């Protein structure tokens, strides 16, 4: 499990400015619950001076997402909109005394929410629907513009860097070639040579305080994803499913693990969970817990159990023919 600074822990357990503020005149929405992270930033801006008088947040996501959102609201209060727009995702991470590389995408989400809120206040159009650039990562809906901007702003040099900062490439990995092409162009522009398959070079800034973990370590915790055997990975996935089932069963629903195909984890939602309007949120929550437990990006895919069994049987029959 990742280590977090005392500051991250404080903003996670005691978040500042949580909830939507009253009389907000600027709202920024970014992310997607189905992808595991979503953030709504609300601001109260004084029209005469454009000073941010108050800020609040509503976040769906992991501890780092909550901490980053909390930190952002503290950072922007008292600043003018133009001053606030100068805050980078690295500034948010520094305010928290560092974030694990795998969690830097949470600070990027905060920066985007701020940009969206300011645009909303000024009556400008801020789009996150990929009209400006081609969609590169379909698993997490990340476009070329966001990838290029994040590479430039954070001096990234590997696919793993890009995944840590944007989530792009953390799903089925089919977009890795596209990410590598973008990296090659951006690194050439700054006079560097891209090395395919290189291990991330950018290291997290050392924390100024002792590191602690947000989660209580379990005596029999599995090793990091890179050191897990296939069996250990399966047991960890099964363990996460079993932990969320009691809450679903309390609402007359349930979730069953059906299959694991690389980074795709197929589950069956039954009972009240099947066809529920909150199914996307349920799946997003399970996916985030799974990502935290495995230390890698995975995608939870809900399917009909009977139909999926029939598809597998058909594939097996075709393969043996």
Q: Establish if 204 belongs to a structural domain.
A: yes
Residue 315 · residue 280 · CB < 8 Å: no
How many CB atoms within 10 Å of residue 104?
Answer: 27
One domain, residues 25 and 131: yes
CATH number at residue 161: 3.90.1010.10
Q: Which of 21-30, 224-233, 303-312 has the highest mean pLDDT?
A: 21-30
Judge whether 106 counts as a catalytic residue.
yes
* Residue 34 confidence (pLDDT): 58
Q: Establish if 301 belongs to a structural domain.
A: yes
One domain, residues 150 and 43: yes
Indicate which residue of 62, 106, 139, 255 is catalytic. 106
Q: Please determine, for residue 197, whether its predicted confidence score (pLDDT) is greater than 60.
A: no
> Where is pLDDT greater, at 100 or 41?
41
Read off the pLDDT band of 24 (50, 70, 90).
Answer: very high
Boundary residue ending a domain (145, 179, 213): 213
Read off the pLDDT band of 36 (50, 70, 90).
Answer: low
How many structural domains does the chain have?
2
* Residue 78 confidence (pLDDT): 96
- Sign of the torsion formed by the C-alpha atoms of 48, 49, 51 and 57: positive
Read off the pLDDT band of 273 (50, 70, 90).
Answer: low
Model's pTM, two decimal places? Answer: 0.57
For the stretch 129-149, pLDDT in tens is 444 557 788 767 788 888 898
> Where is pLDDT greater, at 130 or 197?
197
One domain, residues 207 and 229: no
Residue 77 · residue 57 · CB < 8 Å: no
Measure the N-to-C terminal CA separation of the chain; round to a whole number of Å: 45
For the stretch 229-261, pLDDT in tens is 888 888 999 999 998 888 778 777 888 998 888
* Residue 129 confidence (pLDDT): 45
Q: Establish if 272 belongs to a structural domain.
A: yes
One domain, residues 137 and 43: yes
Give the distance from CA 260 to its chain's centroid: 21
Domain span holding position 95: 1-213
Q: Establish if 218 belongs to a structural domain.
A: no
Boundary residue ending a domain (213, 238, 265): 213
Judge whether 35 counts as a catalytic residue.
yes
One domain, residues 161 and 274: no
171-177, Cβ contacts within 8 angstroms, sequence gap of 24 or more: 171/137, 171/138, 171/139, 171/140, 171/263, 171/297, 171/298, 171/299, 172/139, 172/262, 172/263, 172/264, 172/299, 173/263, 174/138, 175/136, 175/137, 175/138, 175/139
Indicate which residue of 35, 175, 255, 273 is catalytic. 35
Q: Establish if 126 belongs to a structural domain.
A: yes
* Residue 244 confidence (pLDDT): 85
* Residue 105 confidence (pLDDT): 87
**Using CA atoms, how far apart are residues 176 and 114, in angstroms rounded to an integer?**
29
For the stretch 283-321, pLDDT in tens is 777 887 888 788 877 788 888 888 888 887 887 778 776
> Where is pLDDT greater, at 186 or 169?
186
Longest dimension (CA), the chain: 75
CATH number at residue 277: 3.30.300.130
**Using CA atoms, how far apart are residues 26 and 70, in angstroms rounded to an integer?**
17
* Residue 280 confidence (pLDDT): 67
One domain, residues 27 and 168: yes
Q: Helices then strands (H, E): number in the chain?
A: 11, 10
Q: Which strands sit side by side in the sheet containing 26-32, from one edge to the other? A: 26-32, 37-46, 51-60
For the stretch 107-124, pLDDT in tens is 899 999 999 999 999 998
Q: Please determine, for residue 33, whether its predicted confidence score (pLDDT) is greater than 70.
A: no
Q: Please determine, for residue 30, whether its predicted confidence score (pLDDT) is greater than 50.
A: yes
Q: Establish if 219 belongs to a structural domain.
A: no
* Residue 223 confidence (pLDDT): 43
Q: Please determine, for residue 213, whether its predicted confidence score (pLDDT) is greater than 80.
A: no
Boundary residue ending a domain (169, 184, 213): 213
Q: Give percent of the chain with pLDDT exceeding 90.
A: 33
**Using CA atoms, how far apart are residues 92 and 126, in angstroms rounded to an integer?**
21
* Residue 271 confidence (pLDDT): 80
């Amino acid at each position: 499990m990742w280590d977090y600074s005392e500051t991250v822990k404080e903003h996670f357990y005691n978040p500042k400015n949580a909830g939507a503020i009253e009389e907000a005149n600027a709202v920024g929405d970014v992310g997607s619950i189905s992808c595991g992270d979503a953030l709504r930033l609300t601001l109260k801006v004084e029209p005469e001076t454009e000073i941010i008088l108050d800020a609040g947040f509503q976040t769906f996501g992991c501890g780092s997402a909550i901490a980053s959102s909390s930190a952002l609201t503290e950072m922007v209060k008292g600043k003018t909109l133009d001053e606030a727009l100068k805050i980078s995702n690295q500034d948010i991470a520094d305010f928290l005394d560092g974030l694990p590389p795998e969690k830097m995408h949470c600070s990027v989400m905060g920066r985007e929410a701020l940009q969206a809120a300011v645009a909303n206040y000024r009556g400008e159009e801020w789009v996150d629907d990929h009209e400006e650039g081609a969609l590169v990562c379909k698993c997490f809906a990340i476009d070329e513009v966001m990838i290029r901007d994040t590479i430039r702003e954070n001096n990234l040099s590997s696919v793993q860097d890009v995944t840590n900062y944007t989530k792009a490439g953390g799903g089925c990995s089919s977009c890795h070639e596209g990410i590598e092409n973008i990296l090659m162009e951006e690194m050439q522009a700054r006079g560097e040579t891209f090395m395919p398959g290189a291990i991330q070079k950018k290291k997290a800034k050392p924390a100024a305080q002792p590191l602690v973990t947000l989660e209580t370590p379990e005596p029999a915790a599995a090793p990091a994803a890179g050191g897990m055997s296939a069996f250990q990975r399966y047991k960890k996935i099964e363990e996460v499913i079993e932990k969320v089932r009691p809450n679903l069963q309390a609402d007359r629903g349930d979730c069953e693990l059906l299959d694991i195909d690389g980074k795709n984890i197929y589950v069956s939602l039954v009972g009240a969970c099947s066809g529920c309007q909150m199914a996307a949120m349920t799946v997003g929550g399970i996916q985030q817990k799974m990502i935290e437990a495995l230390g890698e990006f995975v995608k939870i895919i809900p399917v009909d159990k009977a139909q999926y069994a029939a598809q597998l049987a058909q594939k097996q029959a075709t393969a043996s023919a």
